[in-house]
């Protein structure tokens, strides 16, 4: 009975250790990316046009991505091993979906416009360091 219990504990400990090891932070995309362009895909009057030609700097550290957004806000999210990047602004419906390839980050920020029309801005960054 004691041997079976010992084997069960060892198997359980191994099963727990494997997922923990698999969750190591993604660092291959780490760096500072300069904003290159910010354009609207919407032509409806309900969607505002970007007020700047490019987004603020994007920083990725240990798989966590962040960039300034709006008046004092910030988009924060994570990048997966395949480069998929998702960021959100806390307390809002704003969401960025994109892809990092090690040199560039590209994607779209979706937010609600007037009359509940979803608006999309295309954002692009280029790696600086």
The residues with which 104 forms a beta bridge, in sequence order, are: 126
Q: Has residue 38 been placed in a domain?
A: yes
Indicate the number of domains in the chain: 1
Lowest mean pLDDT among 35-49, 64-78, 98-112: 35-49
Residue whose C-alpha is closest to residue 116's, from 95, 86, 93: 93
Q: Which two tokens stand for residue 109?
A: 């920020």
Q: Has residue 93 been placed in a domain?
A: yes
Q: Has residue 9 been placed in a domain?
A: no
Q: How far apart are CA 1 and CA 40, in angstroms?
A: 68
Q: Has residue 69 been placed in a domain?
A: yes
Q: Has residue 11 been placed in a domain?
A: no
Q: What is the pLDDT of residue 92?
A: 85
Residue whose C-alpha is closest to residue 110's, from 91, 87, 90: 87
Q: Has residue 116 been placed in a domain?
A: yes
Residue 2 predicted with pLDDT over 60: no
Kindly report the average pLDDT of the chain as a whole number: 82
Q: What is the pLDDT of residue 50?
A: 86
Q: Has residue 51 been placed in a domain?
A: yes
What predicted TM-score, i.e. pTM, was given to this entire model? 0.75
Residue whose C-alpha is closest to residue 109's, from 118, 126, 122: 122
Taken in order 25, 28, 32, 38, the sign of the CA dihedral is: negative
Where in the sequence is the domain holding 123, given as residue range(s)? 25-127
Residue 75 predicted with pLDDT over 90: yes
Which pLDDT tens digit goes with each residue over 6-34? Answer: 444 444 444 544 454 457 888 999 999 99
> Which CATH number covers residue 97?
2.40.160.90
């Amino acid at each position: 009975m004691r041997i079976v219990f010992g084997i069960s504990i060892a198997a359980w400990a191994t099963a727990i250790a494997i997922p923990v090891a698999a969750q190591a932070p993604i660092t291959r995309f780490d760096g500072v990316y300069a904003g290159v362009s910010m354009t609207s895909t919407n032509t409806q009057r309900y969607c505002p046009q970007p007020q700047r030609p490019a987004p603020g700097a994007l920083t990725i550290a240990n798989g966590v991505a962040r960039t300034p957004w709006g008046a004092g806000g910030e988009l924060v999210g994570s990048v997966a091993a395949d480069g998929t990047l998702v960021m959100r602004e806390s307390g809002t419906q704003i969401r960025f979906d994109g892809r990092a390839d090690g040199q560039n980050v590209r994607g779209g920020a979706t937010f609600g416009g007037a009359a509940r029309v979803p608006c999309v801005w295309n954002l692009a960054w280029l790696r600086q360091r």
